[in-house]
């Protein structure tokens, strides 16, 4: 039996960033240490610290400074360059008591994952290139988690190949519509989940988005676009 998926249309554009020059990220916020540069008009990101020496301290998060409302469609182009590693998108991120993500009242964050899933913030986090550990490479999935807490909300098969076989860019689309989260790559729906607002706490609303990588991953990003998401009747 075919499962009917939700369908969404683009509403008004809320944010547009080509991610092609330093001016485009002048107000972005880096937590942790990373190398940030531009090649071929693309944002290239990789770890600054050696994970063999610094372990989990070598990972980082790069936040867009804008607060977005609920019901959004996030699109970007993704280029995997070097692995092993892991790439993730945080969204609907805010303080657990409604604080702005960058409030001075929240503890400082430095890129270590527990600070984001079991710290002072709520967020949804989608890991879509999970090629860090041997078991992740052997059976590849996209994982959606909800925090506060390390709640695995949904999983989907990951169609992304290893770097040596990649034909980039891969066009990513992530929809957050009330309790619905839908993720697709090159128009293929990979993952869909509907939050009941009970099992893992209240449905998260608006907040900030950010890119996360686990060292020694290197990847490039381009053409970040965020729209109002409209639920379609189709």
Domain-wise residue ranges, the chain:
8-231
Q: Cβ atoms within 10 A of the Cβ of 16, count?
A: 11
Contact 207, 93 (CB under 8 A): yes
Domain 8-231 belongs in CATH node 1.10.1060.10: no
Q: Cβ atoms within 10 A of the Cβ of 8, count?
A: 21
| Segment (H or E) for 124 | strand 121-131
Closest CA to 68 of 232, 194, 224: 224
Amino acid 222: pLDDT: 98
The rounded average pLDDT for each run of 10 residues, N- to C-terminus, in the chain (234 residues) is 74 98 98 98 98 95 98 98 96 97 97 96 97 83 96 96 95 98 97 96 97 97 98 83
Contact 79, 42 (CB under 8 A): yes
pTM of structure: 0.95
Amino acid 1: pLDDT: 33
């Amino acid at each position: 039996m075919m499962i009917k998926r939700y369908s969404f249309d683009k509403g008004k554009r809320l944010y547009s960033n080509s991610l092609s020059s330093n001016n485009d990220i002048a107000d972005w916020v880096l937590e942790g240490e990373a190398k940030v540069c531009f090649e071929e008009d693309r944002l290239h990101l990789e770890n600054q610290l050696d994970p063999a020496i610094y372990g989990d301290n070598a990972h980082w998060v790069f936040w867009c400074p804008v607060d977005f409302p609920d019901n959004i469609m996030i699109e970007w182009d993704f280029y995997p360059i070097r692995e092993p590693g892991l790439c993730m998108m945080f969204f609907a991120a805010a303080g657990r008591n409604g604080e702005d993500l960058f409030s001075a009242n929240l503890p400082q964050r430095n890129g270590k994952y527990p600070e984001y899933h079991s710290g002072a913030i709520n967020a949804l986090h989608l890991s879509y290139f999970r090629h860090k550990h041997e078991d992740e490479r052997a059976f590849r999935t996209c994982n959606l988690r909800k925090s506060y807490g390390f709640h695995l909300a949904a999983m989907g098969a990951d169609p992304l190949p290893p770097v040596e076989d990649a034909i980039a860019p891969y066009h990513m689309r992530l929809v957050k519509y009330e309790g619905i989260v839908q993720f697709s790559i090159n128009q293929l729906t990979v993952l869909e989940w509907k939050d009941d607002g009970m099992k893992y706490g209240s449905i998260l609303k608006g907040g900030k988005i950010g890119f996360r990588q686990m060292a020694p991953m290197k990847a490039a990003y381009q053409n970040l676009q965020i729209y109002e998401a409209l639920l379609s009747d189709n």
